[in-house]
Every structure is written in structure tokens, then in C-alpha cells.
Amino acid sequence: MIVVLAIAVWLALWVLNVRLARGSSLSWLVPVVFGVAVLVLWEGVVRGFGISPIILPAPSAIGARFVAETGTLWGDFTQTVVKGAFTGFAIGTAAAFVMAIAVDRSPFLQRGLLPIGNFVAALPIVGTAPILVGWFGFDWQSKAAVVVVMVFFPVLVNTVAGLKDTTTMQRDLMRTYGASYWETLFKLRLPAAMPFIFNGLKIATTLALIGAIVAEYFGSPTRGMGFRISTEVGRLNIDMVWAEIAVAALAGSVLYGLMVLIEKRVTFWHPSQRG
Amino acid sequence: MMRSVGAVLTVLVALVVIWYAAAVWMNSGWALGQAEKRGEVLSFSQLVVETMDQKRPRLPTPHQVFGELWDTTVEKKVTSKRSLVFHGWITLQSTLWGFALGVVVGILLAVAIVYSRVMELSVMPWAVISQTIPIVALAPMIIVLASSAGIEGRGVPKAIISAYLCFFPVLVGMVKGLRSPSRDQLDLMRTYGASGAEVFWKLRMPASVPYLFASLKIGIAAALVGTIVGELPTGAIRGLGARILIGDQFGNPIMIWSALFAAAILAGGLVILFGVIERLTLRRMGAAR
């Protein structure tokens, strides 16, 4: 009965979406309606078939747990995201950035380091997590270290590619202005590289969260999102695990959205932003 | 070409030198401690020798790691539980299954998105959001779900995690590729009286192939990362990720490092393989320059 009802609501929302998609003023509502429809279907299936909360809790149960455990969730969030991921992200991207400018100055390093950087960027670097946890201890420092290693290469490769993205004409123009290397760098080449740099930064935000959480599976103090997920799975508190996943999803989406916003402000001149 | 090979080799040699220096520095603490217990004072050259072949070094030296790699691939039988070929094969299987699943899902979603505005508006934002969710948070859940759904073994959950990571680049690349034919080309098809299916198979599909291959190379690397992530936090006992996990639990850094390098070699091999297939296909299609 409930299942039928849920499917009916789903179909109704789908028809609504088809209507909304035709107009252009309300089309931003479409993904929201789609998300709501998925939640309704999920709730309906769980209740209708009486699925045990140990297997798949209903969204309402997860929501209730989320509200009840805000304190714990916030503590885990600060431990993993604020201390681990942010610190690592800042150090890793800064290091990659400086390295990229150094590489850019030396054609030899470009030829030698870039193929290696491209190769390393495709490797399963998460695997270094246990090693780094062994070196830096259980607290957030080791998580930050994993994040540094994970974000370094994507940002490096993208920044170097971006620094190449000026035409000879543009560089010649700077030369006729009598611009020094640093003036050319700051006024022409870095701004021109920004779309590439943000590409790397966007990849890095996701990687930073993954790195910080994986590193906690290999040892952590008794707080943190990865720690909570692995212990609560063991205690079969699946709704708590989902609440933690919701926090991770929210953090990931908000950080990514923030990057997109900053990108829009910085690279307003780029064709992809003017559409 | 030759110049860049030389540069790459130089950088590699420099990295190995740095690695040895770091190994001396990081392993010296233990060596000095041992010497103090024996009441000896080590000279610098003795110290260097002491740091080269420790059993449980903080940082294994390159010759230890590659020695172990050689030992566990060439010297061991392929069926042995200690052979990295065996564990690599387990990981490769899940990777390929997850990759296949991810590619199929990615292509189907891309086709739906290109042909339906409702699908584009509803699915595309969620596809982006799905990638900002750290998959590792979901990994233990997927394994619980799979086992309660009556699926034995770890192959399926690992493949699902791989698929989750690799469907997105395929989706994005294919949407771009299927939309790459120009107005003119689409109009020409219409003047030929081509049906919708013909436009799809004879124009959109072939036009999307270069985009597809670019995505496949990213996707296969992502799928391997997914499998290893799937093996790490879940107590798997077979596969390269499991070797890393077991090496960590038994305090055997050489094992971790050799499994890492095996994973790296596997990833590199797969990407190169797809690069070769790409070149051959594009040449057959007359698109290679």
C-alpha cells in the first residue's frame, strides 16, 4: 500500500518535472523535485516492505538521528574536515602552487617532472594512508599529511598546464610594455591560468575529504567521521552511519559549491562563465 | 623525444637518491637506539649501512621494495597466497567489472541526458553532487547492504565502489561527445532523410569516440582507486588493498610499499593499454593525425 502510494507520488513529481523543464524560469526547481522524489520513494520502499533498519534505515529515521546527535556530528566534523582536511588542503595546494611556478621557470623540470606528475596523479595515492599514519601518529596531523599528498599532484599538473595557456602574442605584448618576469606572471599568466587552477582545486576538495576519512580507518583518536563510520557499522547503528554520510555529503557539496562561487568571481571573463 | 626521456630519467634518479637519503635519516633513530643498547658508537658510514636493510624500517629503501616486488611476483608461484600477481589479479578483476558497469551506466545516462531535457535537469546536478560525496564514507555501507542482500564475497561491493567513481568522467565526456556534431552536420543528416536512430549510430556515436577514450583513461584509473579504497577499510584479505591493510596490521612496511608499487604499475599499465587501444581505434576511423 505504502509502496504504491510512494510510486504514485514519484510519478506525480516526475510529471511535475516534465512541466517544469519546459518553462525556463522555474527549471532550477527540477533537481530539487527529483531529490525529493527519490527520498519519498526510499521512505515508501523501506516502510512498505518493512526493511529492517539494520539494513537500510528510512530517511526520516536518519533525519531524526541527525538532529539528536548534532553535538557528536559537529565534533567529528571539526576533527576530520576542519583540522584534517583543511590544513592538508591549504599546505598541499600552496606547495603545489609554488612547485608549479618553479617547474614553469625550468624547461628541464617541465620535461622531466610533468610526465611523472601526470602518472602519479592517476595512482591510488590513498594507499599511502597507513604509512603516513604510522609516521605522523593517530591525531589530525597524519590526516593532514595524507591530504597533502593527495591534493598535491592534481593541483601541480593543472597549474603548470594553466601557466602555459597564454599566446605568444600576449606574451610579446607584455614584453613591449617592458614588463618583468614577475609582472608578466602576476598580470598576465596567473590570471590566464585561473580556470585551470580552479579545475585542480575542485578535484582537490573532493580528494581532501576522501583522504581525511580514509586515514581515520587506520587509526584515530575516538572522534572523527571515518572513526565514527567504522565503529558504528560494527555496532550496527546504521542510521548513525547514514547521518555521518549526510554530513560528509553536505561538507563535500558545500566546499565544492564554494569553489565554484569563487571561480565565478575570479574567472568572470572566461567564456565558460559568460554563457 | 630523446631529450624528454633523458629529463625524466634524471628526475627519477634524483628521486631515488632523495629516497635513499630520506631512508638513512628516518631509519637512523632505530639504528642508533640499537647501537646504544649494545654500547657501541656508530660512525656515519656504519650508520648508513645499518639503515639499509632493517627488517621493520620506517622507510624501506628502494632495493628492499623492489627486491620484495621481484620476490613476490617472479619467484613465487602465481597461485600462492603470497604472490602479488595473485592479489593483483583479484584487484584487477573487481576493477574491470566496476569499470564495465560504470562505463555502461555512464553512457546510458549520457544518452538519456542528451535526448531528454527533464533527465538533464534532474540527473546532472545530482551526478555532480554524487562525486562530492566522499565514496569512502559509503564503502562500509555498500558492503553491509550487499551482504544483507545475500551477495557473497567482496567482489560485488568493490565493483560497485569502482563503478561509482568511474561513471562520472564517462558521463561528462559522453555528454560532450554526443553533443559535438555541429548544426551543419545534423542538418546534413536530415537532408539525407536519416531517422533518429541513424543520426545516433552514424553521426553522434562516431563523433563521441575521441571523447569516450579520453574519459575511459580517466575512468580506468578511477576504477582502480575505487577497488583499492573498497579493499582498505573493509577487512578484505585478498587484493592489493588487502596487502596494504595486512602489512599495516603486522607492522611490515616493506609489504605495504611493494603492494603500493604493484598498484602503481597496474594503474600505469591499464592507462597505457587504453592509450594504445585509443590510437588504434582512431586510426581505423581515420581520425588520427
Q: What is the pLDDT of residues A50-86, one digit of tens each?
A: 888 877 888 888 889 889 888 888 988 888 888 889 9
Give, as one character, the DSSP assignment of residue A82: I
Q: What is the dihedral of CA A243, A249, A251, A257, to 10 degrees?
A: -150
- Judging contacts by C-beta atoms under 8 Å, the chain B residues touching residue A119 are 268
A169-218: pLDDT as tens digits: 888 999 999 989 899 888 898 888 888 898 889 888 888 888 888 888 88
ipTM of this predicted structure? 0.78
For A68-268, which CATH class?
mainly alpha
B267-282: pLDDT as tens digits: 888 888 988 998 898 8
Please report the residues numbered 41 through 60 in chain B whose beta carbons come closer than 8 angstroms to any beta carbon of chain A: 58
B264 touches chain A (CB under 8 A): yes
Query: What is the pLDDT at residue A168?
Result: 87
Q: B133 and A213: CB-CB below 8 Å? A: no
Q: How many CB pairs under 8 A join A and B?
A: 156
pLDDT tier at B24, thresholds 50, 70, 90: confident
Quote the pTM value: 0.82
Is it the case that residue B153 has pLDDT exceeding 80? no
Nearest residue to B94 (alpha-carbon basis) of B176, B191, B166? B166
Nearest residue to A108 (alpha-carbon basis) of B9, B21, B15? B9
* Mean confidence (pLDDT) of chain B: 83
Answer yes or no: are the C-beta atoms of A150 and A126 closer than 8 Å. Answer: yes
Nearest residue to A42 (alpha-carbon basis) of A52, A32, A53, A56? A56
pLDDT tier at B254, thresholds 50, 70, 90: confident
Return the percentage of chain A with pLDDT > 70, whole number.
97
For B84-284, which CATH class?
mainly alpha
Domain ranges of chain A: 2-50, 68-268
CA distance A273 to chain B (A): 17
Backbone angles phi, psi at B60, to 5 degrees: -65, 150
Return the percentage of chain B with pLDDT > 70, whole number.
94
Q: Which range has highest mean pLDDT (A90-104, B168-182, B217-231)?
A: A90-104
What lies within 8 Å, CB to CB, of A127 at 6+ separation is B228, B232, B240, B241, B244, B256, B259, B260, B263
Angle, alpha carbons A238-A242-A246 (nearest 5°): 170
Cell digits for B274? 587504453
Average pLDDT over residues B59-75: 82
A214 touches chain B (CB under 8 A): yes
Nearest CA in chain A to B250: A130
Higher pLDDT, B166 or B72: B166
Distance CA(A94)–CA(A88), nearest Å, equals: 10
Is it the case that residue A95 has pLDDT exceeding 80? yes
pLDDT tier at A112, thresholds 50, 70, 90: confident
Q: B232 and A209: CB-CB below 8 Å? A: no
* Mean confidence (pLDDT) of chain A: 85
